[in-house]
Amino acid sequence: MMTRTASAWRVLVLLGALGLAGGAGASEGHQEEPEHEGMAAMKAQMAGKAPGHHGGVHWGYTGAGGPAHWGDLKDEYILCKIGQNQSPIDIGPVVEARLQPITFDYGAEPLEVINNGHTIQVNRGGGAIMVDGQSFRLLQFHFHGPSEHTVGGKHYPLEMHLVHRSADGHLAVVGVFLKEGEENPALAAVWEHMPEQAGGKARAEKVSLDVNALLPEDRSYFRYSGSLTTPPCSEGVRWLVLREPVEVSAEQIRRFREVMEANNRPVQPLHARKILTPF
């Protein structure tokens, strides 16, 4: 049985990987825990500082720091190598289940965009989803290209991940596929302020972005239990991947890839998990 201390440490590791413990997106009034060395390193990574390890190698998407080696870079990353509930996955056969619709409660707020060296991330101060009768507050959303999840073995050009946290520290991530089509005005606002250099940050107080504008009309979804798709690959994440993709233009896809090289972790084995979808 996991002790209370071990359970608390798992939550800290999970939040640290996303820069959520005492950093951008933390709850108002949050009191920081004493910072562990591993926590500081993970927060630095998400801030674009990417500390070295094993002779200066830090995690990334190519070479010695690529996904195949993440589990060997730091002890804290061992789940990247041995975890049985890892993300992303290929969405293939699904099981119909009695699942409730996701309730989205997003609104407009000023735009804050950062380039942390691994992705383009938009920090949020409000908005939430309701899942399993529990509220999960939106902390940030970011992008991967090509998509991390695949459908029947096929990638989409881009994938957006909306990261939410409940009051008790659990994470729920909504995945949205982006396909080539018409220009997306909401995404254009993000791209217009996208920093080109790692560590860059832009805040546009006069630009108000409503995240609803980045979601498809049909919000049916696939659900499974998975992990963070970046080190430390912590498990216990509720994944909610929307079925319907959102259109973005070829130029918007090109623009992301111009700033950010391929940043998708390969799909991971499903093992004994089931992919659920509502009736």
Write the secondary structure of 194-257 as one string of H (helix), E (strand) and C (coil): CCCCCCCEEEEEEEEEEHHHHCCCCCCEEEEEEECCCCCCCEEEEEEEECCCEEECHHHHHHHH
Residues 155 and 71 in one domain: no
Q: Are residues 113 and 227 in the same domain?
A: yes
Active site residues: 118
- Is residue 22 domain-shared with residue 40, that is, in the same domain? yes
Residue 85 maps to a domain: no
Q: Let me know whether 72 and 141 are in one domain.
A: no
96 located within any domain: yes
Q: Which amino acid belongs to residue 152?
A: G
pLDDT at 205: 87
Same domain flag for 183 and 268:
yes
Q: Are residues 56 and 151 in the same domain?
A: no
Q: What CA dihedral angle connects 268, 42, 175 and 146, to 10 degrees? A: -70
CA of residue 48 relative to chain centroid, distance = 15
The residue among 61, 80, 99 that closes a domain is: 80
Enclosing H/E stretch for 189: helix 185-192
Name the domain count of the chain: 2
The pLDDT, as a whole number, for residue 115 is 98
DSSP state of 188: H
Residues 156/142, Cβ–Cβ less than 8 Å: no
User: Which of 80, 113, 147 is where one domain is finished?
Assistant: 80
**What is the reported pLDDT for 255?**
98
Domain of residue 27 covers 4-80
Q: Which of 28, 54, 80 is the last residue of a domain?
A: 80
Residue 126 lies in a domain: yes
Regarding whether 208 and 174 lie in a shared domain, the answer is: yes
In the chain, which stretches have pLDDT less than 70? 1-56
For residue 57, what pLDDT is reported? Answer: 79
Are 104 and 71 in a shared domain?
no
Instruction: Examine the domain organization and report whether 194 and 260 are in the same domain.
Output: yes
- pLDDT score at 51: 38
178 and 212 housed in the same domain: yes
* pTM score, whole prediction: 0.82
In this structure, are 141 and 29 located in the same domain? no
Looking at residue 113, which CATH number applies to its domain? Answer: 3.10.200.10
Residue 138 has, within 13 A of its CA and on its CB side, a CA count of: 27
| Domain contains 67 | yes
Assess whether 125 and 234 both reside in one domain: yes
Residue 146 lies in a domain: yes
